[in-house]
Structure 1
Amino acid sequence: MQENDGPSAKRLKLNSDGPLKAEISPEPLSPPQTNTKIPRLCPYLDTINRQYLDFDFEKLCSVSLTRINVYACLVCGKYFQGRGTNTHAYTHSVAEGHHVYLNLHTLKFYCLPDNYEIIDSSLDDIKYVLNPTFTSEHIQNLDGSTKLSRAIDGSLYMPGIVGLNNIKANDYCNVVLQALSHVAPLRNYFLREENYSKVKRPPGDSSYLLVQRFGELMRKLWNPRNFKAHVSPHEMLQAVVLWSKKRFQFTQQGDPIDFLSWFLNALHKALNGTKKKDSSIIYKSFLGNMKIFTRKIPPIEMDEKQKRTLMQTSEYQEVQTESTFLYLTCDLPPPPLFIDEFKENIIPQVNLYQLLNKFNGQSEKEYKTYKENFLKRFEITRLPPYLILYIKRFTKNTFFIEKNPTIVNFPVKNVDFGEFLTPDVKAKHKNTVYDLVANIVHDGEPTKGTYRVHILQKSTGQWHEMQDLHVTDILPQMITLTEAYIQIYELRT
């Protein structure tokens, strides 16, 4: 159904060369049934209920489920199609006496059933909630501002520190989205829609939807003029379900590291990223380089002499390969199998630096395949501006998933990753000191647990714990006592 705004009328004029011809009028003529009037003020503005307005959900008509010409009723908050006679919005306005509507695409306000456009600056706050915009100056001051914002219900919130709705089982997505929203270059890039709105894509490529929805979510999370102190990621998650071909859903629990890995690569591809390190904002922020040294292990049944002979062959020589990474996988030591002398379970602990020794270029780790075993060692050759650590807690086999509860002791500031670089590589880096900006935690059983995230608010230096809609302050000393799962570190500049 087309929007009944008065289609361009055709006038007939006499052509000197022959018969009558149709000419498009430069000024559309309104059909009699629409009664469209000039823009003016509206006497029904006091009927608007801002507390009912929620623009986080899909922009489709609540009756016909169409996405064409959808209007939001600013009295009850419901979405309806069209505004001409016999449309769902028109019928709703007559039946319920709700007169003020907003076109969700053009951001224009109308009064129904009289069908005239409303021009009033008092409605600008509604327009801004639907489509927040940020200037370059505003973005530059985000990490230095300590100004609190006030929601419609009077509650105070800090832009960027707002909860995300858990629709059913999407907390594994929420923690990743919250963590990424505090990666400054990524956030700054997506707060300005013009940065990615002109990215060229092949015909029929719908990946732009994922980029667009992530940008919208980022702007809503950092909106200083929200009507409420939380945001629903519904449209963002709908795009994730569609683009991942239902691999990730918000009706069943998933793994944040799987989602993070897929999401970063999907965004990179949607932004026309290539293998070059500066080809997208994703690679500019997270991409690092390493060397991987691999050598085959001789069969265990051989004696030492046979092994030495076999090690001289080319098949068992160490092979070096170059690789990139978006995150580093840290392996936890196996937890103790026995209880202590007081008949209580031991809480195993390990230092973060001990886990990072895996990447010093010297430590070897055994990897098993179905037929052969290998020894690998890893040497980091370039550190990214933002370093993601994945602490591998879950072991999966055919029958069950086992969780390693080992606590990782880590500092939240001044983590020097240069200690694990070779002298030549370290000399190429001006700085190797990182600070923690986000810490994702898993609680509970492997398949039934929940996720929460710790976020640093740079302007105040305060840490916040966020679990869906719940946002609370937390001391940095308490963060190190949790079962950390994914961490994001920022290079100190």
Structure 2
Amino acid sequence: MFGGQLQSTVECQTCHYKSVTFETFWDLSLPIPTSSSDLRSSVSRMSKQPCRLHDCLTEYSKEEMLEEPYKCEKCKKPNKATKRITIFRSPEILVLHLKRFSYTMYSRDKIETCVAFPVRNLSIEFMLSDISPFKDDAQSYDLFATSNHMGGLGGGHYIAYTKNIDTEAWYQMNDSKVSPMPGDGPGANLGSSTYVLFYQKQRASKRESID
């Protein structure tokens, strides 16, 4: 249900030989980009510019230059190389973790960036590997829960937003208190508290009705 498969592709910049490896994942830890208009810039530790969940997914899967020389299997010597991570097989339940906590040798920070996320029709098709045999499968998801962190590193509190799978009504769950939420629940939430998002893959019948 939760397991997917990542594909890591390293390409030698001298002979363009590609080395491909695969790894199982249970969730994706997403960086928060500096801004939605400039994904090429480095990730800001304390950026407060709003962005979209799509921007975080794009930042995660973008091609990057490796800092250390890569020993090419074809050249048999260290060369410059690029690396890109794509999804080879997507899971039924997609768990997305936003990297809101930054730890360095000198500081600890919470990234307060507002991340807008869709409640319905999150597409990850653009992250799918070119060689994936699952390209015809569903790659769109609907949100059914979020975990939210209120406060800072010195002290905080977690609450959850969850959807009733039978009525599709949303609820806020705060310790022992459960309160109904209007409409799409967290759909209007663009705050900085969203920490983990839980998506379920759409069924074929639902995708056909959307099309």
Using the aligned pairs only, state the percent identity.
25
Partner of 1:273: none
1:91-106 equivalences in 2 (<5 Å): none
Distance in 2, matches of 1:426 and 1:483, equals 37
CA shift digits 1:320-355 (9 cap, x unpaired): 2111111111110247xxxxxxxxxx9411111122
Partner of 1:479: 189
Distance in 2, matches of 1:321 and 1:423, equals 14
Amino acid at match of 1:459: D
1:333 aligned counterpart, secondary structure: coil
Residue 431 in structure 1 maps to residue 133 in structure 2: no
Deviation (angstroms), 1:491: 0.8
Whether the aligned pair in 1 keeps the contact of 2:173 and 2:179 (CA below 8 Å) is yes
1:116-155 equivalences in 2 (<5 Å): none
Deviation (angstroms), 1:444: 1.3
> Gaps (5+ residues) in structure 2?
36-46, 69-79, 204-211
Amino acid at match of 2:109: E
Partner of 1:392: 99
Partner of 1:112: none
Shift in alpha-carbon separation, 1:459–1:482, aligned structure 2, 3 A: farther
CA shift digits 1:250-292 (9 cap, x unpaired): xxxxxxxxxxxxxxxxxxxxxxxxxxxxxxxxxxx11101111
Deviation (angstroms), 1:375: 4.5
Partner of 2:6: 290
Shift in alpha-carbon separation, 1:359–1:397, aligned structure 2, 3 A: closer
Greater fraction helix: 1
Distance in 2, matches of 1:410 and 1:397, equals 28
Distance in 2, matches of 1:478 and 1:312, equals 48
Residue 446 in structure 1 maps to residue 157 in structure 2: no
Deviation (angstroms), 1:381: 0.7
1:425 aligned counterpart, secondary structure: coil
TM-score, structure 2 as length reference: 0.72
Partner of 1:333: 33
CA shift digits 1:437-477 (9 cap, x unpaired): 11111121123122111101122221111121222222323
Greater relative contact order (Cα 8 A, min sep 6): structure 1 or 2?
Answer: 2
Shift in alpha-carbon separation, 1:401–1:334, aligned structure 2, 3 A: farther
Give the one of 89, 111, 115 matched to 1:408: 115
Distance in 2, matches of 1:374 and 1:399, equals 30
Partner of 1:351: 52
Partner of 1:312: 14
1:9-408 equivalences in 2 (<5 Å): 285-294=1-10, 312=14, 319-334=19-34, 347-358=48-59, 363-365=62-64, 375-408=82-115
Distance in 2, matches of 1:368 and 1:464, equals 45
Amino acid at match of 1:389: L
Whether the aligned pair in 1 keeps the contact of 2:63 and 2:83 (CA below 8 Å) is yes
1:286 aligned counterpart, secondary structure: coil
Q: Which has the larger radius of gyration?
A: 1
> Gaps (5+ residues) in structure 1?
1-284, 297-310, 336-345
